[in-house]
Amino acid sequence: MVVRMRHTRAHTGNRRSHHALVSMRVSKCPDCGAMRMNHTMCTNCGKYKGRVVVDVLAKIAKKEKKAKAAAKK
Ligand SMILES: [Zn+2]
């Protein structure tokens, strides 16, 4: 909430004290060593908590196939 009138520098500063950007929480993937976001599947190997969640190779193959089809048109 922003009050319309009477803005002192302190008031503005107090309001903006909550505006700081927070860095992304990242950690090393225990399986492949790539950096990944916490509580998120690793985008490099497709694993989460040691379990394969997404078949990364199949996904890449699908993407390439799609790109090829788009280039043909
Ligand atoms: Zn990984």
* pLDDT tens by residue, 4-63: 777 899 999 999 999 999 999 999 999 999 999 999 999 999 999 989 998 989 999 999
| Strand runs labelled E in the chain | 26-28, 35-37, 47-48, 51-52
Cα 22 to averaged position of ligand 1 atoms, centre (Å): 24
**Residue 16: inside a domain:** no
**Residue 50: inside a domain:** yes
Residue range(s) defining the domain that contains residue 51? 22-72
**Residue 9: inside a domain:** no
For residue 1, pLDDT beyond 90: no
Residue list, CB under 5 A from ion ligand 1:
29, 31-32, 42, 44-45
Cα 34 to averaged position of ligand 1 atoms, centre (Å): 6
**Residue 14: inside a domain:** no
Encoded tokens for 39: 């509580």
Domain count for the chain, please give it: 1
**Residue 47: inside a domain:** yes
**Residue 11: inside a domain:** no
For residue 2, pLDDT beyond 80: no
The conformation of residue 43, written as its DSSP 8-state character, comes to T
**Residue 38: inside a domain:** yes
**Residue 51: inside a domain:** yes
Residue 28 bridge partners (DSSP): 35
